[in-house]
Amino acid sequence: MKQLLPGIWQWSWFSQEKQLDFNGLFLTVGEHRVLVDPPPMTGEATLMIRKGGAVDYLLCTNRDHEREASACRADFGCRVFVPEADASQMTIVADKTYRDGELLPGGIWVVHLKDQKSPGESALFIQQGKGVLIVGDALIGKPAGALSMLPVEKYADGAKAREGLQRLLKYQFDAILVGDGASILTGAKAAVEHALSV
């Protein structure tokens, strides 16, 4: 469990299949304690989260990042929030669904991204510091220090998927925290611009 930014910690689980770290986030935003896209959790991470009190809710950014949400709900007693457009394609039954433009507890904005791998793919935006953007499968942190889209075969239409991601550039952010690969803590907007121009 490592602290990335004030109030934001990350733990990772290495996927042999993808040869990438799968990352989960633990956020303390306002009065809220939130998990995002949780991969398998170490005992150390579980203890650290438990120490600070109850977890309010858990966010999945897309249907494929359900990951360990059921286990976390059982362990921490948190409510699970998922994208409305992906809810019917997930095994977990959500406590709440969310949609584009919604402001979630703790000041987390939902940014729905069209034409991605899953219909509900959403980024999460937090206006803290210089701005923090959290993405699930919208972009991956590979190679470290750079961002890339998923392989083209993951999309129905790769060009439309790239176009759908342009929406991210309307936000002011310096850090991007990725569900897969290495996050970028400063200068992230330029990295997103570069990834979408390639």
Q: Can you tell me which residue has the tokens 């059921």? A: 70
User: pLDDT (tens digit, 9 = 90+) per residue, 162-189?
Assistant: 999 999 999 999 999 999 999 999 999 9
pLDDT for 93: 97
DSSP class per residue in 62-125 = SGGG-TTHHHHHHHH--EEEEETTTGGG-SS--SEEE-TT-EETTTEEEEE-TTSSSTT-EEEE
Residue 72: CB atoms within 10 A of its CB come to 20
The answer to whether residue 198 scores a pLDDT higher than 90 is no
pLDDT for 18: 85
Return d(Cα 155, Cα 121) in angstroms, integer. 12
User: pLDDT (tens digit, 9 = 90+) per residue, 20-72?
Assistant: 999 999 999 989 999 999 999 988 899 999 998 899 999 999 999 999 999 99
- pTM of the entire structure? 0.96
In eight-state DSSP terms, residue 144 is T
Taking alpha carbons only, the member of 104, 94, 148 closest to residue 125 is 104
Domains and CATH numbers, the chain: 2-197 (3.60.15.10)
CB 195 within 8 A of CB 140: no
The answer to whether residue 149 scores a pLDDT higher than 90 is yes
User: pLDDT (tens digit, 9 = 90+) per residue, 74-86?
Assistant: 999 999 999 999 9
The answer to whether residue 196 scores a pLDDT higher than 90 is yes
